[in-house]
């Protein structure tokens, strides 16, 4: 490739590189590399020479090429963030925004730039295309997240020893992650409903499978058993038919409280909320409603009222921050603590849980 063919740059001036600095400073290109990187050998050079190189670099506005840096097998101080869902959903309310915020914050604090791998190059739907995932290699390491994550392309990265961290718990053994302790938090929500006097509850979860949903369900079951409730028929999925019908049946069965999971799509909560509205019910007067996992700042309002949902918050921002820290430890080759971490969720009092009608007298 001739130099001319590369110069498609509008104004024509190409980026300065080490050899340019070398020419100006009158040293070899390799010396420039040594000096700029501040290596021991670089520092050992004559002070006067070093200064000349440093000055030239400054004057030319030199910035190292991260791709070349990485190919030559060093670090480039870039962390990747790869999402298997829409990174920026149109509906702000149900986004991963807080996670991004946390990742960005910590990356900045650690002097790392962030590369957003925005799904697949051509089709967002093919974000799990192995070739698409491979792109993350330009970074020193990568963060992954999304409700559903393809295992194959990630396994390859793992085999190759490429450092990465999941945001969200994973089942696959050995894979580093920073997740939320949904089990404990969900059990706690049920315990609070039981303490308020509820004996007949139902749990509505999304119809698809994901670690985050499985954990919530386990927590709900655990909480119900701890409260001495019957767990048969406790769990329902959004695909269990018409939600209006379901809700009516529950009321007929004497249900006084419903627990629903809030995920990235928010489908379960939105569907149930609409059904509650259509039934003309108010929360918590007619029905107590608890939500598992709304994120701070993105929580919606309860149907038939303006109260904040009762439940717990997912520490998304903190998950993002901690994932960056863990990734950096992995890149450095020295994980300081556990490589699989579960962060506690903050209970939220909210205003959609109260004592059931029939139990209003006490508790």
Binding site for a copy of itself (CB under 8 A): 1, 5-6, 8-13, 15, 61, 63-68, 70-71, 73-74, 76-78, 87-88, 90-92, 97-98, 100-101, 104-105, 107-109, 111-122, 124, 130-131, 134-135, 137-138, 156, 158-163, 297-298, 317, 330, 332-333
Q: Which of 69, 265 has the CB closer to DNA? A: 69
CA distance 180 to 149: 17
Task: For the CB of residue 158, give the shortest distance to DNA in the complex, in Å.
Answer: 18
Q: Counting runs of H as helices and runs of E as strands, what totals does the chain give? A: 14, 12
- In the beta sheet, which residues pair with residue 62? none
Q: Which of 41, 358 has the CB closer to a copy of itself? A: 41
Task: For the CB of residue 48, give the shortest distance to DNA in the complex, in Å.
Answer: 8
Task: For the CB of residue 139, give the shortest distance to DNA in the complex, in Å.
Answer: 13
User: What are the Cα distances from residue 89, in Å, to 72, 119, 185, 230, 317?
Assistant: 37, 13, 26, 38, 17
Torsion (CA) 117, 121, 125, 129 in degrees, nearest 10? -80
- 3-class SS letters over 52-73: HHHHHHHHHCCCCCHHHHHHCC
Q: Which of 23, 37, 249, 278 binds DNA (CB under 7 A)?
A: 37
Q: Which of 12, 61, 73, 252 binds DNA (CB under 7 A)?
A: 73
Q: If binding is defined by CB under 7 A, does position 52 make contact with DNA?
A: no
**Within 10 A of 336 (CB to CB), how many other CB atoms are there?**
10
- Partner interacting with residue 195 (select from a copy of itself, DNA, none; CB below 5-8 Å by kind): none
Task: For the CB of residue 45, give the shortest distance to DNA in the complex, in Å.
Answer: 3
Tokens of 256: 């006084």
Is 56 strand, coil or helix? helix
- Partner interacting with residue 100 (select from DNA, a copy of itself, none; CB below 5-8 Å by kind): a copy of itself
Nearest CA to 321 out of 167, 186, 124 is that of: 167
- Partner interacting with residue 49 (select from DNA, a copy of itself, none; CB below 5-8 Å by kind): DNA
- Partner interacting with residue 3 (select from DNA, a copy of itself, none; CB below 5-8 Å by kind): DNA
- Partner interacting with residue 53 (select from DNA, a copy of itself, none; CB below 5-8 Å by kind): none
Q: If binding is defined by CB under 7 A, does position 90 make contact with DNA?
A: no
- Partner interacting with residue 308 (select from a copy of itself, DNA, none; CB below 5-8 Å by kind): none
The helix (H) or strand (E) run that includes residue 261 is strand 257-261
Is 98 strand, coil or helix? helix
End-to-end CA distance of the chain: 80
């Amino acid at each position: 490739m001739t130099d001319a063919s590369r110069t498609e740059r509008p104004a024509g001036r190409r980026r300065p590189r080490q050899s340019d600095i070398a020419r100006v400073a009158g040293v070899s290109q390799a010396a420039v590399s040594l000096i700029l990187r501040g290596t021991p050998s670089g520092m050992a050079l004559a002070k006067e020479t070093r200064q000349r190189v440093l000055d030239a670099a400054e004057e030319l506005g030199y910035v190292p090429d991260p791709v070349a840096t990485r190919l030559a097998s060093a670090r480039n101080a870039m962390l990747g963030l790869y999402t298997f869902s829409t990174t920026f959903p149109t509906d702000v309310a149900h986004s991963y925004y807080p996670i991004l915020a946390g990742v960005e914050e910590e990356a900045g604090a650690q002097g790392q730039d962030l590369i957003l791998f925005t799904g697949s190059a051509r089709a967002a739907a093919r974000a799990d295309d192995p070739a698409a995932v491979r792109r993350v290699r330009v970074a020193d390491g990568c963060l992954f997240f999304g409700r559903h994550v393809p295992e194959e392309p990630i396994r390859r990265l793992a085999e190759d020893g490429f450092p990465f961290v999941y945001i969200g718990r994973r089942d696959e053994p050995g894979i580093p992650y920073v997740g939320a302790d949904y089990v404990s938090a969900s059990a706690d929500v049920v315990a609070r409903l039981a303490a308020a006097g509820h004996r007949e509850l139902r749990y509505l979860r999304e119809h698809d499978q994901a670690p985050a949903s499985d954990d919530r369900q386990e927590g709900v079951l655990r909480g119900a058993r701890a409260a001495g409730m019957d767990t048969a028929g406790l769990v329902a999925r959004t695909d269990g038919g018409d939600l209006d019908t379901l809700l009516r049946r529950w009321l007929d069965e004497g249900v006084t409280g419903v627990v629903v999971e809030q995920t990235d799509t928010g489908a379960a909560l939105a569907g149930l909320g609409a059904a509650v509205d259509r039934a003309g019910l108010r929360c918590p007067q007619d029905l107590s409603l608890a939500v598992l996992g709304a994120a701070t700042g993105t929580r919606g309002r309860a149907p038939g009222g303006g109260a904040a949902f009762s439940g717990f918050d997912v520490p998304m921002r903190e998950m993002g921050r901690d994932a960056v820290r863990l990734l950096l430890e992995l890149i450095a080759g020295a994980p300081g603590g556990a490589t699989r971490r579960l962060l506690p969720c903050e209970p939220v009092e909210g205003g959609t849980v109260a004592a059931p009608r029939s139990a209003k007298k006490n508790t």
